[in-house]
Structure 1
C-alpha cells in the first residue's frame, strides 16, 4: 500500500503539534522516531483515525481517507488498519482468545471468529494460553496477545505506538524480530513509533525522524546515520563529533587512535573510558569539545593521545543543505 500524506497537520488552538507533512510511504516497515512530545504519536493517531487532522489530505493507495477540504474522514474501523498500544489494551475479564477475537464481530461469522483468533494466537506461539486471562500472563505474553488481536482482522497496515517500551531489554530484542517476521508473513505494512534509536535502526526499511512537530528527515537508516539532515538528527541518531560549529561532523567509528592513510591528525586528553561490552568508548577533550572515539582497550585519564580522522567520512551539513 502507498500512503500519501499531503499537508497533514494538527493544531490544538495556537499550538502546532504536527507541522504540515508532505510524504509518500511505500516501504513495508517504517519507524517514526523522535523525543517525547515531538508529535510522533499524534501523527500515528491521525493515520489511525483516532485524531482528526486540522488540515491536509491522507490517501491509502488512491483511496481518500481524510480531506478537510473535501469533507472526507473514513472511520478507523473502515481503514483496514490495526493498532498495537504501549499498554497492550487488553480486557482483563476476557481470556486471551476472547481478546484476540474482540475486533472480529461484523467481519466474519461467529464460528470463523474462533478459528481466526486461534490461528492468530498460533502465529504468536500462544495457543496453549487461549483460555488464560491477561492478569495471569507475563508482559511479553500480553504483548503477543495484543499483536495477535491486531493480525486477526487481517489488516493492510499495523500501527505500533511505543509497543515494546514496557518490556525488558532481552524480551524487547526478541519481540522486534517476532513483529518483523509476523508483519512480513501476513503481507501487511507496519509503522512503528519509538524514541529508541537502536530499535528504529534495527527494524526499519525507512525511518521518519521528527523534532518539535516537524518531519526533519525521511529515508533509509543507513542514509540518515551517515548523512544526517541537521545537527539534531546527527546528535539524536548515534554519536557525533563536530569539527567546526555544528557544520561538519564525523562518527566515532571513523576516528582511529593509530596512524592510517588519508587521515587528518588531531590530539586531545583522555577524560574517561567507558566499557560497552565489545569495546571501549573513549572520551577525549579536544580544545573545548569532548570527542568520542572507540578502542579495544581503555586509556588512562589525563593521557594525551592522537586522533586520526578519515577525511572521506567527514560529513558536511552545509553541503547537504546546498
Structure 2
C-alpha cells in the first residue's frame, strides 16, 4: 500500500502543529523521527483518522481517505489499519485472549476468531498467557499483547506511537527485533513514531525526520546519516564534528588518532574520555571546537593529540542543498 499526502496540515487555532506536507510513503517499515512537540504524533493520528487535518488530502493507494475539499473522511475502523500505543491501551479487566479478540468482534465468527487469536498469540510467543490479565504480565509481555491485537485484524498498515518508550533498554532492543520480524512475516506496512535516533536507524527502511511541524528530510537511514540536508538533521542524527566552515561536518568514526591514508592532521587537547563498552568516545578541543572520535584505548584529560581526518568523508551541507 502506498500512502500519499498532499498539502496535509494541522492547526489548533493560531498554532501550526503540522505545516503543509507533500509526501509519498511506500517502504515496508518507515519511522517518523523528531523531538517532542515536532508534530510526529499528530501526523500519525491524521493517518489513523483520530485527528482531522485542517487541509489537504490523504490517499491509501488510489483511495481517498481524507479530503477536505471533497468532503471525504473515512472512519478509523474502515481504514484497514491497526495502532499500537505508548501505554499499550489494554483493557485491564479482560484476559489476554479477550484483549486480542476485541477488534475482531462483529467481523468474524466465534470459531474463526478463536483460531485467529491463538495464531496472533503464537506469533508473539504468548500462547501460554491467554487466560491471564494484563496486570499479571511484565511490560514486555503487555507490549506483545498490544502487538498481537494489532496483527489479529490483518491490517494493511500498523501504526506505532512511541510504542517502546515505556520499556527498559534491554527489552526495547529485543522488541525492536521482534516487531520487525513480525511485520515482515505478515506482509503489512508499518509506520513507527519515535524520538530515539538509534531505534529509528536500526528499524527503518525509510526515515521521515520532522522539526517544528515540518518534514525536513526523508531517506534511508544511511542517506540521512551520511548526507544530512541541514544542521538540525546533522546534529540530531548521530554525533557530528563541525569544521571551521560551519556548513561542513564529519562523523567521529572518520576521525583517527593515528595517521591514515588520505588524511590531514589537526592538533588538539583531550577534554574527556567516556567508556562505551566496546570502545571509548574521546572529546578533543581543537581550533575552538569540541570534536569527538572513537578509539579502543583511553586517552588522558589534558593530553596533547593529533587528529587525522578522512578528507573524502567531509560532508558539505551547502553542496547537499544545491
TM-score range, shorter chain: over 0.9
Moved over 6 A (4+): none
Distance 1:246 1:14 in 2: 34
Q: How does 1:242-281 map to 2 (within 5 A)?
A: 242-281=242-281
Secondary structure, counterpart of 2:104 in structure 1 = coil
Partner of residue 120, structure 2: 120
Counterpart of 2:170 in structure 1 is 170
Within 5 Å, give how 1:1-322 maps onto structure 2: 1-322=1-322
Encode CA deviations 1:152-205: one digit per residue, 9 max, x unaligned. Answer: 000000000000111111111111111011111111000000011000000000
Aligned length: 322
Output one character per residue of 1:117-162: Cα deviation in whole Å (capped at 9) or x when no partner. 1111111010110000001011011000000000000000000000
Larger displacement relative to structure 2 (109-118 or 6-15): 109-118
Matched residues in 2 for 1:259 and 1:155: separation?
Answer: 54
Paired with 1:178 and 1:303, the residues of 2 have a C-alpha distance of 45
Counterpart CA distance in 1 for 2:116 and 2:104 is: 9
Please give the secondary structure, in 1, of the residue aligned with 2:103: coil
**Distance in 1 separating the partners of 2:36 and 2:244:** 29
Give the Cα–Cα distance (whole angstroms) in 1 for the partners of residues 105 and 135 of structure 2: 24
Q: CA deviation at 1:246?
A: 2.9
Distance in 1, Cα, partners of 2:225 & 2:85:
28
- Between the aligned partners of 2:205 and 2:84, the Cα distance in structure 1 is 19
How far the C-alpha of 1:245 sits from its partner, in A, is: 4.7
Q: Secondary structure at the match of 2:51?
A: coil
Q: Distance in 1 between matches of 2:73 and 2:246?
A: 43
Q: Aligned equivalents of 1:105 and 1:274: distance in 2?
A: 54
Q: Cα RMSD (Å) of the superposition?
A: 0.8
1:210 counterpart SS class: strand
Q: Secondary structure at the match of 2:166?
A: coil
Distance 2:262 2:141 in 1: 52
Counterpart Cα distance in 2 of 1:260 and 1:121: 53
